Amino acid sequence: MSKQYETVIGLEVHVELATKTKIFCSCSTEFGGAPNTHTCPVCTGMPGSLPVLNKQVVEYAIAVGLATNCTITQNCKFDRKNYFYPDNPQNYQISQLYLPICRNGSVEIETEAGKKSIGIHEIHMEEDAGKLIHDDWDDCSLVDFNRSGVPLIEIVSEPDMRSAEEVIAYLDKLRLIIQYLGASDCKLNEGSMRADVNLSVREVGATEFGTRTEMKNLNSFKAIARAIEAERERQIDLIESGEQVIQETRRWDDTKEYSYAMRSKEDAQDYRYFPDPDLVPVVISDAWLEDIRSRQPELRDEKMERYAKEYGIPEYDISIITNSKHLADIFEETVAICNNPKKVSNWLMVETMRLLKEHDMDPEDIRFSPANLAKLIHLTETKAINSSVAKEVFEQIFAENIDPEQYVEEKGLKTVNDEGALRSTIEKIVEANPQSVEDYRNGKKKAIGFLVGQTMKEMKGKADPGMINQILTEILEQ
């Protein structure tokens, strides 16, 4: 019988914090500026410049630490990690090695197999590097330091995960916690959340860990799942054929579904960390800690419980709506205006989800205002428009956040509630379709559907189907 293997996985997750300025200087962190327009002597590593810590970075790091059950290191400091690379202008990255701000935490994940606790070894604060663009024309590289100094936290897990499913559940848990705290938007595909996977395999029952590799360049949940599967297979193949797994950093190529060892820069692992003399220690008093604790917002688990109690909507809807902080905010604000949680939930669950999927968007990308959704719900509740018109109007709200009242007025989409006009249209339709009328009178009650459709067409969709039905039945039964 062939041997059974177990996969052991730990994660290093980098999260870009949602501060307005960089970690050690007052440059903007805004994404997408022209190269080097958000730079200064500090974030380009000019001699003599002095870093000054952004207080908000410390507060976000503490908030994430508290939400992940960590112990906060009340006396912490920064260290220099030394290496040479053109994206790193100081020739060191300011990070935390000896006294990281958070330690010994955990989060609970849920998979098909049930609940499980994943340990968090530490969370530390550090700065991001610049961006290198390779210029093939001049055979050189161009450095843009706009991202240099953007604040990051690195969340290091314990090697507690055993499958891709657990890894994804863990990442999703972190994403939700951090999004709810407002500490980052956590977008894997845009790089504001990055995960490096440390993976080893061992025979089931073994107590020692195998040799691990570190996998980089994982930009989606799907890429992470594929990379984990491929690396597990690769390591098992090596072991089965009597070879050794080498401890190395590998880069995942998701289009080829293959990873390769990154050329180890000469002695790159010898970072010669030492305390950064430019930065004074950070002392976090009990009072400061309590202040941050008291300002912690409602997190997802609490929100789910409250929704079930307050709004009486199905558990499944609650889980989808609260799966995005932004969507939950839209839900709550809309309900606050129109006081109709079931209808709001319905618009979010059905039409919003359909349009998001159609446009390949995330709930975070939704731009319509709760006020406009509330107005649309009011229009349907008062039967000013019928449901198919409402869907059409909603598409406009979703796309351009139009004011539905104004839009309906301008386009003349209001339901015709003039019974006289509707009755004369129906009489015309009845006259023009003697066959359907005869079918109906001979007992084929379904024939009414065709007549309703024809009337609706004639009314250009602006009629209340209930009213058509009622008048039609009346005429046919005569």
Q: Please give the residue ranges that form the binding site for another protein (CB under 8 A).
A: 19-21, 25-28, 34-41, 44, 46, 52-56, 58, 77, 82, 84-86, 99, 132-135, 138-145, 251, 262-263, 266-267, 270, 272, 275, 277, 279-283
Going by C-alpha positions, the residue among 400, 414, 338, 395 that lies closest to residue 371 is: 338
Q: Which is nearer to another protein, 249 or 346 (CB)?
A: 249
For residue 311, the minimal CB distance to another protein (Å) is 35
- Nearest residue (CB) to another protein, 239 versus 284: 284
Does residue 429 contact residue 452 with C-beta atoms inside 8 Å? no
**Nearest residue (CB) to another protein, 132 versus 336:** 132
The CA distance from 89 to 93, in Å, is: 9
CA–CA gap between residue 103 and residue 225 (Å, rounded)? 27
Helix H or strand E segment including 226: helix 221-240
**Judged by CB, which is closer to another protein: 281, or 297?**
281
Minimum Å distance from CB 178 to another protein? 17
Contact 87, 116 (CB under 8 A): no
Place of tokens 């055993």: 162
Q: Which amino acid is at 215?
A: M
Minimum CB separation from another protein for residue 132, in Å?
6
Smaller CB distance to another protein: residue 52 or 206? 52
DSSP 277-337: TTS--EE--HHHHHHHHHTPPP-HHHHHHHHHHHH---HHHHHHHTTSHHHHHHHHHHHHH
Coil, helix or strand at residue 469: helix
Left, alpha or beta for 66 (phi > 0: left; psi -120 to 50: alpha)? alpha
Distance of CA 28 to the CA centre of its chain: 23
Taking the CA of residue 59 as centre, how many other CA atoms within 13 Å lie in the half-sphere pointing to its CB? Answer: 17
Between 88 and 345, CB nearer to another protein: 88
- The CB-of-242 to another protein minimum distance in angstroms stands at 31
Q: How far is the CB of 289 from another protein (least distance, A)?
A: 13
Q: What is the closest distance, in whole angstroms, from the C-beta atom of residue 184 to another protein in the complex? A: 14
> In terms of CB distance, is 86 or 453 closer to another protein?
86
Q: Which DSSP category does 99 fall into? A: S
Inter-residue contact 163 to 149 (CB < 8 Å): no
Task: Give least dist CB 87 to another protein, A.
Answer: 8
Specify the residue, 87 or 229, whose C-beta has the smaller distance to another protein.
87
Shortest spacing between CB 275 and another protein, in angstroms: 6
Torsion of CA 357, 360, 364, 365, to 10 degrees: -110
288 vs 450 by CB, closer to another protein: 288
CB of 260 to another protein, least distance (A): 11
Nearest C-alpha neighbor of 251 from the set 199, 196, 212, 211: 196
Smallest separation, CB 261 to another protein (Å): 11
- Which CB, 35 or 465, lies closer to another protein? 35
For the chain, the first-to-last Cα distance in angstroms comes to 81
Q: Are strands 102-111 and 114-127 parallel, antiparallel or unpaired?
A: antiparallel
Strand 71-72 versus strand 102-111 pairing type: antiparallel
Of 408, 413, 347, residue with least CA distance to 374: 347
State the burial class of residue 207 (Cβ atoms within 10 Å of its Cβ: 0-12, 13-18, 19+): exposed
Q: In this complex, which beta carbon is closest to another protein, that of residue 151 or of residue 210? A: 151
CB of 376 to another protein, least distance (A): 37
Residue 362 neighbours by CB distance under 10 Å: 13
Instruction: Determine the Cα–Cα distance for residues 401 and 376; give it in Å rounded to an integer.
Output: 11
Nearest approach in angstroms of CB 30 to another protein is 8
Which CB, 36 or 211, lies closer to another protein?
36
